């Protein structure tokens, strides 16, 4: 290689056959479909905040050819799938990114700060470096029974963030009250609830994710879990799309999907009018990636007095909060945070509340709102709004 470089007087990129084969295997040949139109780069939200957008197309080309990614932009992708929504060839672009990250891990070249995330899951079974024994502390006063398949209709899967982050714990508590209000028989796994591993998959360590998923699936199998309701769309996504088929009847649901069922069945009714204008942030992993746009909106509409107003970009075009793809554990420089733009769009609607249905969205949007110092405007999870209307 050095000889070539000397001969042509500039950097030479060489095709790595082994890498090429590896990527085809990891992605099921996803990148091969790409015909390099560049719509991905044009639609990528990084273009909204950076002079030089994230060149998704270049990375796709490198993946097609087996060239090594060199400029570090690999870790920017929030896997929001905005590009996938527009890709004329239907390429699973986020998965190509995850696979390129898998290769980076194998070459011991991950982004700084991410190894400690994986170690935390390894030691503590959560990505937040929190003691596993304190996982169920938040629920001490709620008296939630441990899940028993003979007695309970569903298992409520809390997730690591809602178990440990005080802000997100409020979402979990709200949901517990809503389920009780609807007379749902449910339980949880308490401090023995295992991590879903989504953080591992999102930073692209596919091999370790398989281990985490197998372990967690085994716990679910042993506990007789079939119907499972998650708080985070990220947990829901891995259970729904990336877990091995460990039981025939396994049916993971995001809580918004489950609540809509309860409303349709007449079990959940909101009696108290709220008199609120609400706008809704579609979490990427609920909306674009799992095509659940209506469930959260239907919950909001079924609350008397709630008026739903849409933001400039909504549903398929919703702007990512910036927290996916492992970016919750990486710093994003000032001026490059999608959530700043999103909060601006939300305030423009004139709504009282920016609602969402994901603990990561809540954390990112609330951070941006704090910096913006807007009075009388709130970021709330749908569960937190719905519980007020019981």
Partner 1 sequence: MVSSLYGIGRERKSIWVYLEVESGGLAGVSLELIAKGRQICNQLGWQLAGLLLGYQVGELVADSFAYGLDEVWLGDDALLEYFTIEAYSRASFQALMAAKPSVFLLGATPNGRDLAGRLAVRLRTGLNADCTDLYMNPQDERLVCEVSGFGGGVLALIEMAQHRPQMATVRPGVFSPGELDRKNVGKIIPISLDLTEDVIKTRLVERSIGEQVDLTRVPVLVAGGRGVDGDFKMLAQLAQLLGGEIGATRPPVDEGHITRERQIGQTGVVSNPKVAICCGISGAFHFVVGIEKADIVIAINSDPEAPIFDYADYCIVGDVHQIVPTLIEILSAELEVSIG
Tell me if 306 sits within 8 A of 276, measured CB to CB.
yes
> What is the enclosing helix (H) or strand (E) of 355?
strand 353-356
Q: Give the integer Cα–Cα distance in Å for 380 and 373.
A: 16
Shortest Å distance, C-beta 45 to partner 1:
19
Q: How many CB atoms lie within 10 A of CB 12?
A: 13
Nearest-approach distance from CB 353 to partner 1, in angstroms? 19
Does 334 sit near partner 1 (CB under 8 A)?
yes
- Of 103, 38, 81, the residue nearest 285 (C-alpha): 81
Distance of CA 387 to the CA centre of its chain: 23
15/137 with CB nearer partner 1: 137
The smaller minimum CB distance to partner 1, of residues 167 and 177, is found at: 167
Contact status: 167 vs partner 1 (CB under 8 A): yes
When asked if residue 363 is in the footprint of partner 1 (CB under 8 A), the reply is: yes
18 binds partner 1 (CB under 8 A): no
Q: Least CB distance from residue 133 to partner 1, whole Å? A: 8
Token match 């982050």: residue?
165
Stretch that binds partner 1, among 90-98, 251-259, 286-294, 329-337 (CB under 8 A): 329-337
372 near partner 1 (CB under 8 A): no
Choices 12-20, 145-153, 164-172, 291-299 (CB under 8 A): range interacting with partner 1: 164-172
Can you tell me which of 125, 367, 381, 384 binds partner 1, judged by CB under 8 A?
367
Q: Does 142 bind partner 1 (CB under 8 A)?
A: no
Question: Rounded distance, CA 64 to CA 130, Å?
Answer: 40
Type and span of the H or E element at 366 = helix 359-372
Partnered with residue 279 across adjacent β-strands are 309, 354
Beta bridge partners of 354: 279, 379
Q: Pick out residues in 77-136 that bind partner 1 (CB under 8 A).
A: 113, 123-124, 128-131
Helix (H) / strand (E) element for 218: namely: helix 206-222
Whether the Cβ atoms of residue 59 and residue 267 lie closer than 8 Å to each other: no
Total number of residues that touch partner 1 (CB under 8 A): 22
Binding status of residue 370 toward partner 1 by CB under 8 A? yes
Contact positions toward partner 1, by CB under 8 A? 113, 123-124, 128-131, 164-168, 328-331, 334, 363, 366-367, 370-371
């Amino acid at each position: 290689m050095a000889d070539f470089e000397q001969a042509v007087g500039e950097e030479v990129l060489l095709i790595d056959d082994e890498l090429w084969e590896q990527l085809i295997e990891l992605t099921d040949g996803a990148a091969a479909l790409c015909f390099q139109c560049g719509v991905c780069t044009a639609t990528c939200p990084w273009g909204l905040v950076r002079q030089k957008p994230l060149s998704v197309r270049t990375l796709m080309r490198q993946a097609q050819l087996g060239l090594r990614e060199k400029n570090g932009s690999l870790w920017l992708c929030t896997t929001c799938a905005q590009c996938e929504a527009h890709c004329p060839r239907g390429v699973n672009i986020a998965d190509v990114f995850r696979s390129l990250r898998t290769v980076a891990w194998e070459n011991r070249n991950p982004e700084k700060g991410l190894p400690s995330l994986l170690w935390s899951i390894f030691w503590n079974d959560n990505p937040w470096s929190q003691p596993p024994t304190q996982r169920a502390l938040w629920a001490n006063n709620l008296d939630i029974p441990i899940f028993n398949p003979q007695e309970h209709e569903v298992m409520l899967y809390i997730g690591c963030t809602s178990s440990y982050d005080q802000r997100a714990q409020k979402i979990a508590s709200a949901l517990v009250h809503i389920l009780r209000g609807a007379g749902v028989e449910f339980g949880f796994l308490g401090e023995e609830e295992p991590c879903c591993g989504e953080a591992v998959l999102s930073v692209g360590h596919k091999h370790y994710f398989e281990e985490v998923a197998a372990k967690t699936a085994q716990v679910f199998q042993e506990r007789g879990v079939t119907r499972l309701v998650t708080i985070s769309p990220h947990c829901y996504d891995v259970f729904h799309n990336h877990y091995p088929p460990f039981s025939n009847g396994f049916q993971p649901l995001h809580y918004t999907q489950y609540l809509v069922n309860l409303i349709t069945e007449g079990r959940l009714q909101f009696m108290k009018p709220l008199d609120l204008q609400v706008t809704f942030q579609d979490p990427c992993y609920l909306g674009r990636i799992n095509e659940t746009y209506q469930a959260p909106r239907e919950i909001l509409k079924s609350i008397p007095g709630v008026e739903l107003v849409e933001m400039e970009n909504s549903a398929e075009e919703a702007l990512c909060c910036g927290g996916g793809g492992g970016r919750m554990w990486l710093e994003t420089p000032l001026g490059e945070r999608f959530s700043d733009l999103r909060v601006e769009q939300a305030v423009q609607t004139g709504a009282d509340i920016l609602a969402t249905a994901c603990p990561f969205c809540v954390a990112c949007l609330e951070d941006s709102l704090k910096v913006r110092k807007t009075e009388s405007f709130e970021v709330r999870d749908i569960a937190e709004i719905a519980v007020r209307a019981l």
